[in-house]
Structure 1
């Protein structure tokens, strides 16, 4: 595999093509592969390869049609439900939404603490 990086405005830091990152990240996910040895073979920092592998698993390491990486963000609005004087029915207490991020599934039920949900979603991004 070719490890030559593209020149950019940061001195001493190569900008590896997205295809190269994907190829190595996929190879690092294979069973029995030593990520450290793979990084050493391609003369890259092992921590960088671990990051590429995390990004690949989170669906962040993709190549757009233009060849550059692009994040796709969706707006999220968290609002407090108005307090009710009556008891919540069984049907609405079992209502929940499901958020799928790469291999992770987060199920959010009625009454979930907004701060806790924000923490969980933030931890999935990193």
Structure 2
């Protein structure tokens, strides 16, 4: 297995293909495999391979290819129709996002940049 690295917009930091990450993370999960030695054989920092292995086990590092696209379950809960609500309550809409053990509730007027930061931090 050769190390495959591509260039990225960031200086000096390779952007490894998803297939490469998945292959090494899967190999690192095999019994008796030394993650440090595997990383060294491929010119990687062991911490990076440990992170890829953690991501694989958490379901965040999926096998690339046409089968990698997957639909997530969505639950739509209807709320009972209430008589006329005051202006503030009528505009208070909430979206609830569940990622693993985390629940993020987003209400009307939430800052998009902050929401993106929160969701990205939950993925890593």
TM bracket (short chain): 0.5 to 0.7
Whole-angstrom distance in 2 between the partners of 1:72 and 1:54: 22
CA contact (8 A) 1:36 1:46 kept: yes
CA contact (8 A) 2:60 2:123 kept: no
CA contact (8 A) 2:5 2:16 kept: yes
How many residue pairs get aligned? The number is 85
CA RMSD, Structure 1 to Structure 2 (Å) = 3.5
- CA positional deviation for 1:52: 0.3
Query: Which residue of 2 is the match for residue 23 of structure 1?
Result: 23
Q: Which runs of no fewer than 5 residues in structure 1 stay unpaired?
A: 78-100, 107-116, 119-123
Alignment of 1:9-48 (within 5 A): 9-48=9-48
Q: Which runs of no fewer than 5 residues in structure 2 stay unpaired?
A: 77-99, 104-121
Whole-angstrom distance in 1 between the partners of 2:8 and 2:71: 24
CA contact (8 A) 1:22 1:52 kept: yes
Alignment of 1:1-126 (within 5 A): 1-62=1-62, 63=64, 65=66
Q: What's the CA shift string for 1:65-104, capped at 9, x where partnerless?
A: 3xxx989776789xxxxxxxxxxxxxxxxxxxxxxx6xxx
Q: CA 1:4/1:30 → structure 2, altered by over 3 Å: closer, same or farther?
A: same
- CA positional deviation for 1:4: 2.5
- CA positional deviation for 1:64: 5.0
